[in-house]
Amino acid sequence: MTQSDKNRVVIFDTTLRDGEQSPGATMTHEEKLEIAGLLDEMGVDIIEAGFPIASEGDFNAVSEIAKNAKDAVICGLARANFKDIDRCWEAVRHATRPRIHTFIGTSPLHRAIPNLTQDEMAERIHETVTHARNLCDNVQWSPMDATRTEWEYLCRVVEIAIKAGASTINIPDTVGYTAPRESADLIRRLIETVPGADEVVFATHCHNDLGMATANALAAVDGGARQIECTINGLGERAGNTALEEVVMAMKVRGDIMPYTTGIDTTKIMHLSRRVSTVSGFQVQPNKAIVGKNAFAHESGIHQDGMLKNAETFEIMRPEDVGLSETNIVMGKHSGRAALRSKLKDLGYELADNQLNDVFVRFKELADRKKEVYDDDLIALVTAGDDSEDKHLVIKSLRVACGTGGPAEATLVMTVGGEEKTATQTGDGPVDATFKAVRELHPNSARLSLYQVHAVTEGTDAQATVSVRLEEDGRISTGQSADTDTVVASAKAYVHALNRLMVRRGKTGGDTPEISYKDVS
């Protein structure tokens, strides 16, 4: 093995599995396929596509992703039982390079859940890893909550998994409990202590409960791990997972002290970050490392002066390294289709002719209302949900009246199942009145669990991107829309979420999980 091989770090993306477990981040079948394709294009080595036994919808998504994968290994998750493992294999077996990832909680707290003794759990690990290895030659095994498992027992079960045929041993910090020095020491000691450890790949899977997921993952690599499990934007339940963009760029920028390489095309990071943010409904915080809106923004006079003289004074990486366009060319109402297509391609969006025509119409409408249309405005046009994607509910017109003299009033005209209806409602503000009008025309029991407004660009004529999350009978749906009128954007986002909720209820009911799988590794 060459030195470069020894320093190659495998990137294992679990946005579609662990990331999607973040409450409210559920993605549709089509969105999962799209994100998987983008991850494959970016050079992610392994895509954990889902938890096949969780639901029929999850199984179908993993199966489709496996069939469509080009270069990436496609992995599915399975608990330590034959039924889970068989179902996982059925989903991933279509991939050119399939992997089964099976796990069991090994800490005292997790052993108490199935009420297994150490010996009983050890036997189950041997049986299930052996079963997985008989189906697939690429098996990964995880001792969930490894960082709170007794040292002697952890060594014992890792050795059992290696002897049973696991080729990757993942060491999860399931609840974000460990610290960087501990993370490095744990991996190093396992490699030095466990028989056969030098013949397998050790992986690290860190959660961000104490804000140390990235630091812990990089420390584990220093300790000998050569696979990092991570998600786009650090998406994940509770405080999230290790962020792919952070570990990849840290190793790229600080190769002097972290001489490791990955196969990631970093110029695709920003596009993927924005896409995951849109489909999950989770906005990226402005000061988020690498992909936040302010990551390459400079307002301080001292900083601006330094940047004008030499960008390296206040930037340790170039915006274009992560896929940000070097210049923010302003488009206007005189710009044509060719210019729009070229600009969108620079931003990472290659649209089919019919998609371009739709965006072009909305671009012209926006340009008539807004003097300057910036990159972020165009991205909002492309990524914001269109309430006409399902024709059951379509907004035709909306008028609101509000002020200090009384309650706001909204008059909404909307087609419901092809029939045009009108409703007028009052409320505590124009958005409240509008949502009440929607509910009058389309009665529903969905609970509004998130309403978020985000200004796309600066100024009073800025577009507002509105994100809405609805919950109904265990189903979760997100909707997003952008408009220079915040109330209109709110109405469209709300209707978009309702349309998607109806699709899930009526056409893809299998998306609802049949089992609970929170807190998995």
Annotated binding-site residue? 126: no
DSSP string, 28-63: -HHHHHHHHHHHHHHT-SEEEEE-GGG-HHHHHHHH
The half-sphere exposure of 387 on its side-chain side, counting CA atoms within 13 A, is 28
Largest CA distance in the chain: 78
354 is in an annotated binding site: no
100, β-bridge pairs:
76, 139
Measured at the alpha carbon of residue 137, what is the angle toward residues 136 and 143, in degrees to the nearest 5? Answer: 85
Residue 29 known to bind ligand: no
SS (H, E, C) 225-271: CCEEEEEHHHCCCCCCECEHHHHHHHHHHCCCCCCCECCCCHHHHHH
CA distance 67 to 91: 9
Q: 498 Cβ partners below 8 Å, 6+ apart? A: 393, 438, 442, 444, 446, 470, 477, 479
Q: What is the CA radius of gyration of the chain?
A: 25
Residue of 214, 211, 114, 200 whose CA lies nearest to 163: 200
Give the residue carrying structure tokens 């069939």: 67
Rounded distance, CA 23 to CA 49, Å?
A: 18
Q: Of 354, 360, 385, which is closest to residue 373 (Cα–Cα)?
A: 360
Residues 6+ apart with CB under 8 A from 410: 398, 399, 400, 401, 424, 425, 426, 427, 430, 433, 434, 436, 437, 487
Q: Give the span between the Cα atoms of 286 and 283, in whole angstroms.
A: 9
Helix (H, G, I), strand (E, B) or coil at 184: helix
User: With contact defined as beta carbons under 8 Å apart, do 144 and 105 qualify?
Assistant: yes
Is 18 annotated to bind a ligand? Reply is yes
Neighbours of 259 (CB within 10 A): 12
CA 121 – CA 123 distance, rounded (Å): 5
Q: Cite the annotated binding site by residue number.
A: 18, 205, 207, 241
Q: Cite the annotated binding site for Mn(2+) by residue number.
A: 18, 205, 207, 241
